[in-house]
Amino acid sequence: MPYEELEELPKSVRDNLPKHAQEIYMKAFNNAWGEYADPEERRGDASHEEIAHKVAWAAVKKVYEKDKESGRWKKK
């Protein structure tokens, strides 16, 4: 279930991340979706979708961080 448009991302992602971070999320999710399609490639019992979301959030957190005061995501 790769995403083709930012509007398809989960509401929690769309409502909280700036557009650039959403683009990072979508690209990382889609790449992970393809890379971890085979259950043998995944660690633990995580589902295909769960792994892709974890990879996507990790990619976002390399570039963005949550501001402690405002709670908004900003570039590092």
In a domain, 27, yes or no: yes
In a domain, 8, yes or no: no
**Is residue 2 domain-resident?**
no
Q: Is 62 within a domain?
A: yes
- The span from the CA of 50 to the CA of 74, in Å, is 24
Do 44 and 51 contact (CB within 8 A), yes or no? no
**Using an 8 Å Cβ cutoff, are 17 and 56 in contact?**
no
Could you list the residue range(s) of the whole structural domain that residue 29 is in? 19-75
* Domain CATH number, residue 61: 1.10.1740.70
Question: Has residue 30 been placed in a domain?
Answer: yes
The 10s digit of each residue's pLDDT in 16-56 is 999 999 999 999 999 999 998 888 777 788 899 999 999 99
Residue 4 placed within a domain: no
Residue 14 pLDDT class (50, 70, 90 cuts): very high
